[in-house]
C-alpha cells in the first residue's frame, strides 16, 4: 500500500507538520468533511488544493506556525488525509474498488476530544521518534522485489486467504491477492529456507493454506485471534495459523 508507506515516511521525516495538518480535520470532523476528504483523496488532488483549504478545515480556521499553506500540498497532505480517513472510517478498514478508489464509508461511532487526540499524537510521535534513530527503510514493492540476506528474520503478513465464499476480503489494493499470489508467496518463503533466514507467516486457518505449506521442516500452529471486523456482526475469536520454518 503506497499510501500507508507514504504516511509512515511523512511521520518519520515531518511528524510535526503532519499533525499540524491532521489536527484541524479531526477537530472539525463530520460527515460532510469525511466525504469531501475521501473524494479529494481518490482524485489525487493533493498537489492542487489551495482553493479547497477553507472548505476542508472550516472558514477562518488557520493552522498555527509558519508556512501553513506549504503543508497543504503533496505527500505530506496525502499522509494526513490517509490517517484522517483511517481514524474516522468504518472500523479502520482500508478497502478499494477495482479502480483503486478508497470506498469505505464513514464510521458511526467516531468521537474526539482534545484529550484523546493529544494522547494519540503522543503515541504516534513516540513511535516515530524511535524510528528516526533506527536504520529503517520503508518501501512499497512486491515482496519478490526485496533481496533476502543471510541472518534476516522475515515476518510475513499477507492478505488472508478466504475462509468462505462471503468472508473473502482481499481488496486492500485494486489488484487483490488471490490464490496465485498465495502460491508465489509460498514459493518465496520456501526459497528463504536455504539462505540461513528464519521466517514466520500469519494467515487464515483454511485447508488451502495448510496444503500449501505442508513441507518437512515447516511448523504450522493454530491460534485464536480476536476479530475487529465482521460482516455479520459476529466478532468472536477466529482461528488463524502461524507458519514458520523453525
**Calpha distance 195→202 (Å, rounded):** 21
Residue 167 backbone dihedrals phi, psi, to 5 degrees: -90, 75
Per-residue pLDDT of the chain (246 residues; tens, 9 = 90+): 889 889 888 888 888 888 888 888 888 888 988 999 999 899 887 766 554 555 555 544 434 443 444 455 688 889 999 999 998 998 888 888 888 899 999 988 666 655 556 666 666 666 555 555 567 778 888 999 999 999 999 999 999 998 876 554 444 555 678 899 999 999 999 999 989 899 999 999 999 999 999 998 999 999 998 766 555 555 677 899 999 997
**Calpha distance 158→155 (Å, rounded):** 10
Closest CA to 218 of 229, 209, 226, 228: 209
The x, y and z cell numbers of residue 15, run together, are 511528524
**pTM of the entire predicted model:** 0.72
Angle between the 2-27 and 114-132 helix axes, to the nearest 10 degrees?
150
DSSP annotation of 62:
-
**Calpha distance 89→104 (Å, rounded):** 6
Which residues make beta-bridge pairs with 201?
156, 243
Amino acid at each position: 500500500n503506497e499510501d500507508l508507506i507514504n504516511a509512515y515516511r511523512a511521520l518519520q521525516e515531518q511528524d510535526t507538520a503532519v499533525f499540524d495538518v491532521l489536527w484541524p480535520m479531526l477537530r472539525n470532523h463530520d460527515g460532510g468533511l469525511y466525504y469531501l476528504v475521501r473524494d479529494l483523496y481518490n482524485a489525487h488532488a493533493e498537489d492542487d488544493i489551495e482553493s479547497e483549504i477553507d472548505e476542508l478545515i472550516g472558514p477562518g480556521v488557520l493552522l498555527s506556525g509558519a508556512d501553513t499553506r506549504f503543508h497543504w500540498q503533496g505527500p505530506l497532505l496525502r499522509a494526513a488525509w490517509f490517517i484522517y480517513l483511517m481514524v474516522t472510517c468504518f472500523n479502520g478498514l482500508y478497502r478499494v474498488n477495482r479502480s483503486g478508489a478508497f470506498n469505505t464509508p464513514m464510521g458511526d461511532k467516531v468521537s474526539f476530544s482534545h484529550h484523546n487526540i493529544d494522547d494519540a499524537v503522543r503515541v504516534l510521535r513516540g513511535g516515530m521518534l524511535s524510528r528516526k534513530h533506527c536504520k529503517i527503510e520503508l518501501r512499497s514493492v512486491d515482496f519478490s522485489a526485496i533481496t533476502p540476506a543471510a541472518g534476516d528474520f522475515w515476518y510475513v503478513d499477507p492478505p488472508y486467504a478466504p475462509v468462505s465464499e462471503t468472508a473473502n476480503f482481499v481488496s486492500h489494493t485494486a489488484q487483490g491477492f488471490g490464490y496465485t499470489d498465495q502460491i508465489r508467496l509460498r514459493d518465496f518463503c520456501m526459497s528463504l529456507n536455504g539462505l540461513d533466514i528464519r521466517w514466520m507467516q500469519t494467515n487464515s486457518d483454511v485447508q488451502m493454506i495448510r496444503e500449501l505449506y505442508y513441507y518437512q521442516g515447516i511448523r504450522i500452529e493454530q491460534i485464536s485471534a480476536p476479530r475487529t471486523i465482521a460482516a455479520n456482526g459476529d466478532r468472536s475469536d477466529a482461528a488463524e495459523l502461524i507458519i514458520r520454518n523453525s
